[in-house]
A and B are shown apart, each in its own frame.
Chain A
């Protein structure tokens, strides 16, 4: 029997990089096949080639034994290949059913007049069968990210995709939701579908996949049966060297007095609904306080209120006993609250401006970089060069536009700038999202160093492993409220996961 998917010798070059370098890949019918690799290893490029988004420079694609060449995603869809992207391709004001038939030119969607009943019934049936039920009439913007992902999967199933590719699907899920997704994937595999599961998380790969292919630097370095691997062996294949285990150390002796006090904060979100409800938190000098929660439960708004980017309705933010002006980012900067925002490319930097400009984004007013109304361009450039050297930002020159840096190097620039201001409090949101293992290690090291130097760190992350690895204390947010505060030692993943989903513990 021919494999469901067979890629032979796929090569794809982009200016300056070889994203895929002679990759062979094969996935059988009825298996969950994990595609493991660091960011930039070529996973996304490979899946984009398979779904017709890119055209390979070299190599062949066989689907169920037939040589195929996809000129567009539609052709790949017609061949039975469905994809669930990391960033969903949904139209928020449309209903679930409408999203499902969007762009479908063969089934119900090909008619000029649409019969919503049929589609709704079919979507409900599919949801039932695969345990991913979503109300077909709900509008997408009302759904949680986990539910939106279900819509994406339903979309693929509705189009009778026999090969389903999921790109980092658990990034937006609680551990429980992830477990239920795995369940769905197994059902699909039992039916003879092929699931290609892209991830850089070892435990997930072990939990869900039958076989695993590891990519590194655009090459296939190994394909193995998952049962015969260990997380450690996979990690060293993925990184190309041994990975040091993260060690937690008791930091109690460093903890100083309260630096940041958040009292009774309430704020509206972008849609005008309550995003924060009466949040109170206290952060000590030298402490890392982790804020856990599924994306969209008020964490972003919390970070924005604390850093003055969003005006709260009620409550106050106090640093070193001084109250900050509400909704005034400049006063937060003056109080030395540093901020590594979630969206580093459009909030953390001005992407088209040079690295030098971005390195003084908050300090250009002071006498260090300005004389009266004039900028001291030379001082700015020299400072940027020294930050680049000190933080080891590869491939960076002061005059290069910031958007030309990779995620990890961009994050280093943002961190370098924020530490340069000698902060009292550091608010970091999803600091390692999209970074490779080496960059994650670096970022974590910098955060620990900052904390041990007496900075209070508010670490907001959807990655529970990250919070468990770094935080001294963990606060869990659900629907805008802090539902629990736990000491790091006493919290288990299951407990936190349950709290993140709105459940109660004990």
Chain B
């Protein structure tokens, strides 16, 4: 009989061994799947790694994929640290994108360098305001924020769709006859295009740098300030926080706003860095917000780990795009990605629990 027990101590080496072991297991299972579907495992894995991280082109695409994941990963990590489960990063990102695009279009080319910071502020405001809805409900009516923030994701998806496909809104391009038939967003003016930092042939999107800066700020906020101290206490024991006279409601509002602001910033980065238009189809199909939750969990809510894992997951996504083709269905790519995540998350269980095999029968014999 096998039993699962909580570990009394977590040995240090497990922190390294378990994730590595999980990946090995993932590759073993993937080998089986690939063999069963008639693909060469070795060659597939090689392509997976090369197309994800193996060339300058691959690295640049991976950085592009990683950028929004850093934002949504931080969005989740910031809230989860206080046991505040904001699942609404997805919707908050859309709202940031909507407001960011509006400001970018409105400012046009006349404002020069002002467009970029204005879009950043707009993205922050959009995301934060949207996150404050479940925040208020939680703080004052004690509503479960998991459900409200999740439901608001659908609201946000419908709003962003409505703006482009179902209305002649400010965001929609109506300048040409074809644009009237095939709805699409207005193209943002050049001034609203965020700069790119070139290091050799490596191109770092501005949003990526902002994301890393946010990670540093979040780390400092949570480990060095009174605010972060209160968040930690509330997250660990709400009763202890009340005992210490902390204002829990205000903290819920502040953390929700912060969390939403980070996601909203990611939305603005989508407008300014990559899409240069309000792109409902692209954003809703990408599912950055949900991926962010997985990233936060894998990173154990550590902001720097969020950046690293966003990068790895971005590479995996990219490799997925490169793999699929006539001989390699996209469904199979999804299966491989899912297997990796499943094994890595499953490995987490081993960190906190251990499996023991019951040796009862043998003991009785020995005793008798």
A335 to B279 CA separation, bound complex (whole angstroms): 57
User: B243 at the A/B interface (Cβ < 8 Å)?
Assistant: yes
A330 to B236 CA separation, bound complex (whole angstroms): 19
Residue from the list A309, A331, A373 in contact with B227, Cβ < 8 A: A373
Residue from the list A309, A333, A361 in contact with B233, Cβ < 8 A: A361
- Chain A neighbourhood of B236, CB < 8 A: 350-353
Asked if A377 and B224 make an inter-chain contact with CB atoms under 8 angstroms apart, the answer reads yes
- Chain A neighbourhood of B244, CB < 8 A: 329, 333, 361-362
Asked if B8 and A14 make an inter-chain contact with CB atoms under 8 angstroms apart, the answer reads yes
Interface string of B227-238 (1 = CB under 8 A from A): 101001100110
Asked if B229 and A375 make an inter-chain contact with CB atoms under 8 angstroms apart, the answer reads yes
- Chain B neighbourhood of A364, CB < 8 A: 226, 229
User: A67 at the A/B interface (Cβ < 8 Å)?
Assistant: yes
Asked if B245 and A362 make an inter-chain contact with CB atoms under 8 angstroms apart, the answer reads yes
Asked if B226 and A365 make an inter-chain contact with CB atoms under 8 angstroms apart, the answer reads yes
Min distance, Cβ A269 to any Cβ of chain B, angstroms? 15
Q: For B220, give the chain A residue with the smallest CB separation.
A: A374
User: A357 at the A/B interface (Cβ < 8 Å)?
Assistant: yes
Interface string of A316-346 (1 = CB under 8 A from B): 0000000000001111110000010101001
User: A69 at the A/B interface (Cβ < 8 Å)?
Assistant: yes
- Chain B neighbourhood of A329, CB < 8 A: 242-245
User: B363 at the A/B interface (Cβ < 8 Å)?
Assistant: yes
What does DSSP make chain A's interface, helix, strand, loop or mixed? loop
Residue from the list B225, B232, B358, B368 in contact with A71, Cβ < 8 A: B358
User: B367 at the A/B interface (Cβ < 8 Å)?
Assistant: yes
Asked if A347 and B224 make an inter-chain contact with CB atoms under 8 angstroms apart, the answer reads no
Interface string of B354-365 (1 = CB under 8 A from A): 000010100110
Asked if A15 and B9 make an inter-chain contact with CB atoms under 8 angstroms apart, the answer reads yes
A341 to B237 CA separation, bound complex (whole angstroms): 14
A362 to B243 CA separation, bound complex (whole angstroms): 8
Interface string of A354-383 (1 = CB under 8 A from B): 000100011011000010011101000000
User: B196 at the A/B interface (Cβ < 8 Å)?
Assistant: no
Interface string of B191-234 (1 = CB under 8 A from A): 00000000000000000000000000000000011110100110
- Chain A neighbourhood of B247, CB < 8 A: 330
- Chain B neighbourhood of A365, CB < 8 A: 226
What does DSSP make chain B's interface, helix, strand, loop or mixed? helix
Min distance, Cβ A324 to any Cβ of chain B, angstroms? 12
Asked if B232 and A375 make an inter-chain contact with CB atoms under 8 angstroms apart, the answer reads no
Q: For B230, give the chain A residue with the smallest CB separation.
A: A364
User: A348 at the A/B interface (Cβ < 8 Å)?
Assistant: yes
Asked if B358 and A350 make an inter-chain contact with CB atoms under 8 angstroms apart, the answer reads no
Asked if B229 and A309 make an inter-chain contact with CB atoms under 8 angstroms apart, the answer reads no
- Chain A neighbourhood of B368, CB < 8 A: 67
Interface string of B337-368 (1 = CB under 8 A from A): 00000000000000000000010100110011
Asked if A353 and B245 make an inter-chain contact with CB atoms under 8 angstroms apart, the answer reads no
Known contacts A328-B245, A353-B232, A375-B226; is A69 also within 8 Å of B364 by CB? yes
- Chain B neighbourhood of A352, CB < 8 A: 236
Known contacts A60-B367, A330-B245, A373-B226; is A357 also within 8 Å of B232 by CB? yes
A353 to B226 CA separation, bound complex (whole angstroms): 14
Residue from the list B229, B243, B360, B364 in contact with A341, Cβ < 8 A: B243
Interchain residue pairs with CB less than 8 A apart (25): A15-B8, A67-B367, A69-B363, A71-B1, A71-B358, A309-B243, A329-B242, A329-B245, A330-B245, A341-B243, A346-B239, A347-B237, A347-B239, A348-B243, A349-B237, A351-B236, A357-B232, A361-B233, A361-B240, A364-B226, A364-B229, A374-B225, A374-B226, A375-B224, A375-B229
Give 14 new A-B contacts, CB below 8 A, not counting A328-B245, A331-B245, A365-B226.
A67-B368, A308-B245, A329-B242, A346-B237, A347-B237, A347-B239, A350-B233, A351-B237, A353-B232, A353-B236, A357-B232, A361-B243, A370-B226, A375-B229
Contacts from A to B (Cβ < 8 Å)? 14-15, 55, 60, 67, 69, 71, 307-309, 328-333, 339, 341, 343, 346-353, 357, 361-362, 364-365, 370, 373-375, 377
